[in-house]
Amino acid sequence: MLREIVKYPDPVLERPSEPVTEFNEELRTLVDDMFESMYEAKGIGLAAPQIGVAKRITVIDLSFQKDPEDKIVLINPVIIFREGKQYEEEGCLSLPDIREKVSRAAKVTVKAQDADGEWFEMDGEELLARAFQHEIDHLDGVLFFRRVSALKRDLILRRIRKLQKAGDW
């Protein structure tokens, strides 16, 4: 089922999410809905708060449906290792048409649970590392524009206010 993607300044986007404690059919349905909603919005990652669900769940698919093996589900994820630096442009489904360069670690290791509650670790480099960090930030209530300079952040917020005033947001 398609879920509506919430846009900034919806409060759910700036609050830390609750840990998942029940691993059941309802959770698996939510994960399926998240993938479907992400694909419909042309994204490569989606965190549960972006569909209004304040739970620590994120889905990622860098292949964008080309390879089912590339579908990643992270439940209750934490970054346990960071290395290097990358400075690349990011966008966000909750901030449509806004893109900005963000500094992130070039390589990370995450520890998370799968949809059955089993713990695992996964390494990511470059784009995958950036996706891990971006989506886990969502679970912590941090949007990517909070990681840019104050000047760039102010310009983004002004642009959003202008779009809201015009009824385009």
Residue 24 lies in a domain: yes
Does the annotation list 92 as a binding residue? Answer: yes
Residue 90 lies in a domain: yes
Task: Residue 104: give its domain's CATH number.
Answer: 3.90.45.10
> Domain range holding 147?
11-165
Residue 107 lies in a domain: yes
- Cα–Cα dist 160/8, whole Å: 9
Provide the annotated active-site residues: 135
Does the annotation list 130 as a binding residue? Answer: no
Q: How many domains does the chain have?
A: 1
- Cα–Cα dist 131/129, whole Å: 5
Residue 73 lies in a domain: yes
Q: What is the pLDDT of residue 66?
A: 86
Residue 6 lies in a domain: no
Residue 95 lies in a domain: yes
Provide the percentage of residues in the chain whose pLDDT is more than 70.
100
Residue 54 lies in a domain: yes
Is the per-residue pLDDT at 68 higher than 90? Answer: no
Is the per-residue pLDDT at 151 higher than 90? Answer: yes
Q: Which of 41, 84, 60, 42 is nearest to 139 (CA)?
A: 60
Residue 27 lies in a domain: yes
pLDDT tens sequence across 37-65: 999 999 999 999 999 999 999 999 999 88
pLDDT tens sequence across 93-147: 999 999 999 999 999 999 999 999 999 999 999 999 999 999 999 999 999 999 9
